Amino acid sequence: MARTPTTYDPFNAVAEPKRRQVLEALGGSERSVSQLVSLLGWPQPVVSKHLAVLKQVGLVHERRDGRRRLYCLDPGQLKPIYDWVASFEQLWEERFNRLDEVLQEVQQKEK
């Protein structure tokens, strides 16, 4: 089965590490491309390319302020990704709890 193009699927869009960094940089703030370039240390075309994909899948919104374009994260669009990841929360919680038990056993044996 063919993969959904990155430009149509938020899951594929956030699979790219640089796009996740853009989302993190936006966080709860509205930022311009130049602010993102400065913050991330990437060339402007790279930032713009990733913003375009994130905008196309609905994870980022653009607002014009005069000649500037400001970008902000749409956290509601991350909900399907969050819901999917949350389904693994109990599994990881159990594994971390077991790891804590094993580490405690090892520490007790060393004493």
Domain housing 62:
6-110
Residue 86 lies inside a defined structural domain of this protein:
yes
CATH code assigned at 54: 1.10.10.10
Residue 47 lies inside a defined structural domain of this protein:
yes
Residue 57 lies inside a defined structural domain of this protein:
yes
Residue 98 lies inside a defined structural domain of this protein:
yes
- Tens of pLDDT, residues 52-68: 999 999 999 999 999 99
Reported confidence tier of residue 107, pLDDT bands at 50, 70, 90 = very high
Residue 73 lies inside a defined structural domain of this protein:
yes
Residue 1 lies inside a defined structural domain of this protein:
no
The C-alpha atoms of residue 35 and residue 38 are separated, in whole angstroms, by 5
Share of the chain above pLDDT 90, in %: 80
Average pLDDT value for the chain: 91
Residue 37 lies inside a defined structural domain of this protein:
yes
Number of domains in the chain: 1
For the entire predicted model, the pTM comes to: 0.77
